[in-house]
Amino acid sequence: MLAQKQAEEAIVSNFTEAHDHEGKEDHHQDKEEENTSLFNVKNFLWHGGSVWDAWFSCASNQVAQVLLTLPYSFSQLGLLSGILLQIFYGIVGSWTAYLISVLYIEYRSRKEKENVNFKNHVIQWFEVLDGLLGPYWKAVGLAFNCTFLLFGSVIQLIACASNIYYINDNLDKRTWTYIFGACCATTVFIPSFHNYRIWSFLGLGMTTYTAWYLTIAAVVHGQTEGVTHTAPTKLVLYFTGATNILYTFGGHAVTVEIMHAMWKPQKFKYIYLFATVYVFTLTIPSATSVYWAFGDELLNHSNAFSLLPKNAWRDAAVILMLIHQFITFGFACTPLYFVWEKVIGMHDTKSICLRALARLPVVIPIWFLAIIFPFFGPINSAVGALLVSFTVYIIPSLAHMLTYRKASARQNAAEKPPFFLPSWTAMYVINSFIVVWVLVIGFGFGGWASMTNFVRQVDTFGLFAKCYQCKPPKPLPAAAAPHH
């Protein structure tokens, strides 16, 4: 027993030393670069792998455009349900992100015992599933993850067009989608999550400004005349709003890629929880205050910007959200780029330009889908119910239970249960609860509600809508009498 314990400690120690050595190599390489330049801006802005980099990436990626749709969700759910579900799904999402991090450490420690080198290879979630549970799990993980990230990218593109329209409505939303599709295609030049340091930092700053702008603007505006707060009124609307919140705190489809970009991935464990706590300070005040001010009027306005008065503060928030959506588009697309590179055998290529060229076919279908389905509010809910429920909640919980179903696997686990829950049985109970809850409430009721709502939107506005939820065109002025 003692020998076995020593062996386990040696495995964890070797894993830690390997990453320490890898971090030192990176640090040494960075030092060499610094010696060749008086002030190396590239190193400061470009190479990120610290705990803080991971925290900024998680917090920045977790809440973007969905910040503007949460008041819409509150109008479907009611104030109390909206706040409680945010807290509930925030905690559940942090737990499943923790499970993903544990499975990543387990997979990597096993592979490194087999002397597998990941120097020029980015580990992804489907590879973790493959290594721990086999090819069928790999196929399921790949299908759900890629589809989720694909539609996540589509949502960001639609949102860009929707937001810029509130500043400049001379062009319709479809034309803006064409323009922003070309802009977002430039993310093919960002090699990996190592290189999102400055973008993550800026992205979180932009989201913070927008959240507090919404809060303050709604309070200053005050309640509209005759405002009503009747939600919840219909089951369809209630579960549509609930799945939008499930989607809000299910933004960790890129957890493994963010971990892999860290110098010491084993430090990731609770980063997502800390990121979620910060996100609560943005989402709860903003959604509450906007719902308080506009009430049921939000049911027909899935984007909170559409109800707030046009001024310099709002325009600044719109512009900052546009830049952040570009960043979030890159976050969602980068794992897809990696998958595509592996399929065509370009993942080891060091040339940034060559890899960028190889990645372009990934952007084109995203661009096309954004033009077909230009309504991101209903898509948020549909993606949440049908994809996020499995990708982010059900699959990680099931994978954790199956990976450690044998006593030998539990004894040799690279990561033991957390200090606040030191029992494997308790972990199984929590994981089983998450699987059942999300399957019934998220996928079942949420899927029914969101698809009903989605079909209604298509019937109302049609596919390829030129300008979804736009103001009706102004009537042409009558011919004026000639002046003398």
Higher per-residue pLDDT: 159 or 411: 411
| Residue 62: both structure tokens together | 């977790």
User: Which of 267 and 195 is assigned the larger pLDDT?
Assistant: 267
Q: Tens digits of per-residue pLDDT, 2-41?
A: 454 454 444 444 444 444 444 444 444 444 333 434 345 5
Q: Which domain holds residue 205?
A: 49-461
- The pLDDT of residue 310 is above 50: yes
Residue 476 lies in a domain: no
For residues 441-455, average pLDDT: 85
Distance CA 360, CA 354 (A): 10
The per-residue pLDDT for 119 is 75
If one counts every other C-beta atom within 10 angstroms of the C-beta of residue 235, the result is 12
- The reported pLDDT for the residue numbered 468 is 59
Rounded to whole angstroms, what are the CA distances from 73 to 64, 190, 447? 15, 34, 15
Residue 332's nearest CA partner among 204, 150, 181 is 150
Least confident of 154-158, 337-341, 408-412: 154-158
Q: Is the pLDDT of residue 1 over 50?
A: no
State mean pLDDT over 212-223: 94
pLDDT in tens, 147-166: 888 887 888 787 777 777 77
In a domain, 298, yes or no: yes
pLDDT band at 282 (very low <50, low <70, confident <90, very high): very high
Structural domain includes residue 471: no
Residue 378 confidence class, pLDDT cut points 50, 70, 90 = low
The pLDDT of residue 473 is above 60:
no
Is 19 part of a structural domain of the chain?
no
Q: What pLDDT does 472 receive?
A: 57
Q: What pLDDT was estimated at residue 440?
A: 93
Query: In 3D, which of 403, 423, 428 has the Cα closest to residue 413?
Result: 403
336: alpha, beta or left? (left if phi > 0; alpha if psi -120 to 50): alpha
Give pLDDT, residue 17.
Answer: 47
The listed range with the strongest mean pLDDT (108-122, 152-166, 300-314) is 300-314
pLDDT at 296 over 70: yes
Among the listed ranges 65-69, 195-199, 253-257, which one has the minimum average pLDDT value?
195-199
pLDDT of residue 12: 47
Band of pLDDT at residue 476, cut at 50, 70 and 90: very low
User: Which pLDDT score, from 0 to 100, does residue 481 have?
Assistant: 46
Domain presence at residue 303: yes
pLDDT at 22: 44
Determine the pLDDT at residue 26. 45
> Do residues 141 and 129 touch, judged by C-beta distance below 8 A?
yes
Q: Encoding tokens for residue 245?
A: 């919140």
- What mean pLDDT is predicted for residues 57-83? 87
Indicate whether 36 belongs to any domain: no
* Whether residue 218 has pLDDT greater than 90: yes
CATH number, residue 218: 1.20.1740
Closest among 259, 241, 219, 233 to 48, alpha carbons compared: 259
139 occurs within a structural domain: yes
Mean pLDDT of 355-371: 85
Check whether 273 has a pLDDT greater than 80. Answer: yes
Residue 35 lies in a domain: no
How many domains are contained in the chain?
1
